[in-house]
Amino acid sequence: MDKKEDLLKEVISHAKEYGYVFPSSEIYDGLAATYDYGQLGAELKNNIKNYWWKAMVQMHEEIVGIDAAIFMHPKTWKASGHVDAFNDPLIDNKDSKKRYRADVLVEEHIEKYRDKIKKDVAKGLKKFGESFDETQFLATNPNVKRSQEKIDLLESRLKNILETDDLTALKAFIEELNIVCPISGTANWTDVRQFNLMFSTELGSVAGDAATIYLRPETAQGIFVNFLNVQKTGRMKIPFGIAQIGKAFRNEIVARQFIFRMREFEQMEMQYFVRPGEELKWYAYWKEKRTKWHKALGLGDAYYRHHDHVKLAHYANAAADIEFDFPMGFKELEGIHSRTDFDLRKHEELSGKKLQFFDPELNKSYIPYVIETSIGLDRMFLAVLSASLKKEVLEDGSERTVLSIPPALAPYKVAVMPLTKKDGLPDKARAIINELKFSFQCQYDEKDSIGKRYRRQDAIGTPFHVTVDHQTLEDNTVTIRDRDTMQQERVSISDLHKIIDEKVSLNNLLRHGG
């Protein structure tokens, strides 16, 4: 465990040291759980986006991409369920220091009465044997009736309290029911506090005129509200998908673990619209497809595992996570959800617009079912970074730090360096860069010993290192060093482009993971 924590620390400090990720607003002592992507981080992030976008949009003629606004009509969040489902009343037990959802505590309390009824039924069954009529028993047995009345009463009171958002009453209710913490066994509770998971802000510059709107907590809704626009203008036929990359905002109660859980984060989502009844087929299809996309990167299959949800969100009828072995252990990297027709149906209800597709084969209209693939870009970034960071012990016993980022994602593709900064070698190196820069992100470095420069490039993850030496001036050959094997090869300058392109091009990735 300690080892794992240290690993995350190493990733964080490496990320900072080499310009991948900086703590946000650092000169003002930082802002909790907010990070800025630096000069190399921005490149890596863009490359990841690119790989995703091309694999999803470019490789699928039935998928198109959009870029919806972060601001959306407030009704959107009413429809999606975020307004109701993501306002959690929380309460802490002062003795055990554990935090609970206050409404869940009450529900669990109510559950006890349900268990009691079950026990009574079991008793009844035992007593009456084969002649036992459960329906009649439930309706007539005085114990059961008493329990049921209690359940009904408590449930309606809870509903009432939740609907009025009366936090004081909720705490009083918990105290009245003598609910205790399962850990400490005490009823020493803090006040109930509301945690709104959505960030609100004001739209409209004149005070008083302003309407409260939210920063989107997920990008998916931008796709759903545009379902009809895209379907009609793109003449899309089911099944088809809409992809989007964009920021989303969640006021997490606790945002932590570096860029794994941030309040401002970026999602890469695709909603795939299918015929009702065919959703589980497509769900399986996308689960496999997305897994392939990940594994094509070559970080190692052992880093991935599936986690199928047993407990499903309010909108889903099947859900699985692709989990990644982060420095903190296996955690969710991507979610594949079968969202049914929940979202479109709700939007249809609240907007009054018909969000359906006329299927000529079936000769009828229906609200499509949706399969969602949703990956956290920042998490993907962390996955790539943490799996790539290695400390190697070389044959001679010395150590090297290498960032073996998949070449297609690496910020710099090639470093070109003169062996010495004399005899015109720098000019020659510059000349090579001036050709390569049209295809690749290049870096020039002439400072320090050549060995030191190699190690610097290893540390930032540049896959190829080209060195110009005196022989270069005679026959136009250079040495090219492979970051991972440290092997060098002497090649002609005119072959450089081909050699590098073969390895850093997205094409190969897309062939295997697209």
For residues 431-450, which are near RNA according to CB under 7 A?
Answer: 447-450
Q: How far is the CB of 254 from RNA (least distance, A)?
A: 3
What does each C-alpha distance from 184 to 103, 189, 502 come to in angstroms?
19, 11, 61
Report the distance separating Cα 43 and Cα 381, nearest Å. Answer: 11
Asked if residues 205 and 29 have their Cβ atoms less than 8 Å apart, the reply is no
Choose between 353 and 452: whose C-beta lies nearer to RNA: 452
Q: How far is the CB of 221 from RNA (least distance, A)?
A: 13
Q: How far is the CB of 451 from RNA (least distance, A)?
A: 2
Residues 184, 317, 420, 508: which binds RNA (CB under 7 A)? 420
Binding test (CB under 7 A) with RNA, winner from 124, 239, 241, 376: 376
Side-chain-side CA neighbours of residue 131 (13 Å): 2
- Indicate the burial class of 319 (C-beta count within 10 angstroms; 0-12, 13-18, 19 or more): buried
For 14-46, give one letter per residue: b (16+ CB within 10 A) or e: bbbebbbbbbbeeeeeeeebebebbebbebbbe
Residue 473 in contact with RNA, rule: CB under 7 A: no
Shortest Å, Cβ 5 to RNA = 6
Q: How far apart are CA 109 and CA 114, in angstroms?
A: 9
Distance CA 432, CA 417 (A): 10
Nearer to RNA, 171 or 456 (CB): 456
Distance CA 265, CA 259 (A): 8
Answer for which of 400, 430, 503, 512 binds RNA (CB under 7 A) is 400
Residue 398, interface with RNA (CB under 7 A)? Answer: yes
Whose Cβ is closer to RNA: residue 413's or residue 428's?
428
Decide: is 265 part of the binding site for RNA (CB under 7 A).
Answer: yes
- State which residue, 83 or 228, has the beta carbon closest to RNA: 83
Min separation Cβ 438 and RNA, Å: 24
Residues 474-513 contacting RNA, CB under 7 A: 479, 481, 486-488
Query: What burial letters (b/e) apply to 78-107, b meaning 16+ CB within 10 Å?
Result: ebbebbeebebbbbbbeebeeebebbebbe
Binders of RNA among 10-39, rule CB under 7 A?
13, 16-17, 23, 29-33
| Contact in structure between 335 and 310 (CB atoms under 8 Å) | no
190 binds RNA (CB under 7 A): yes
User: Does residue 198 touch RNA according to CB under 7 A?
Assistant: no
Element (H, E) at 332: strand 329-340
Nearest Cα residue to 314 out of 25, 43, 79, 53: 79
Distance of closest approach, residue 338 Cβ to RNA, in angstroms = 13
Q: How far apart are CA 63 and CA 449, in angstroms?
A: 50
For residue 168, the SS3 value is: helix
Considering the complex, what minimum distance in angstroms separates the CB of residue 207 from RNA?
26
Binds RNA (CB under 7 A): choice among 43, 103, 120, 321: 321
- Secondary structure letter of residue 243 according to DSSP: E
Q: Is the dihedral of CA 142, 143, 145, 150 positive or negative?
A: positive
Binding segment (CB under 7 A) for RNA, from list 62-70, 72-80, 152-160, 370-378? 370-378
For residue 253, give the 3-state DSSP assignment: coil
Residue 456 near RNA by CB under 7 A: yes
User: Does residue 422 interact with RNA by CB under 7 A?
Assistant: yes
- Contact positions with RNA (CB under 7 A) in 33-72: 33
Nearest distance in Å: CB 37, RNA = 14
Count of positions on this chain that bind RNA (CB under 7 A): 73
CA neighbor of 385 nearest in space, from 469, 259, 487: 259
Question: From the CB of 319, what's the least distance to RNA, in Å?
Answer: 8
- Specify the DSSP element, H or E, that contains 366: strand 364-366
Of the listed pieces 62-70, 82-90, 108-116, 122-130, which binds RNA according to CB under 7 A?
82-90
Cβ proximity to RNA, 100 vs 412, nearer residue: 100
Query: Is residue 144 classed as helix, strand or coil in its secondary structure?
Result: helix
Confirm or reject binding of residue 114 to RNA (CB under 7 A).
no
Nearer to RNA, 69 or 394 (CB): 394
Query: Footprint of RNA on residues 340-369 (CB under 7 A)?
Result: none
Query: Which of 253, 362, 431, 473 forms a contact with RNA (CB under 7 A)?
Result: 253
User: At closest approach, how far in Å is the CB of 153 from RNA?
Assistant: 26
Question: Smaller CB distance to RNA: residue 85 or 122?
Answer: 85
Q: Which range touches RNA (CB under 7 A), out of 87-95, 202-210, 279-287, 498-506?
A: 87-95
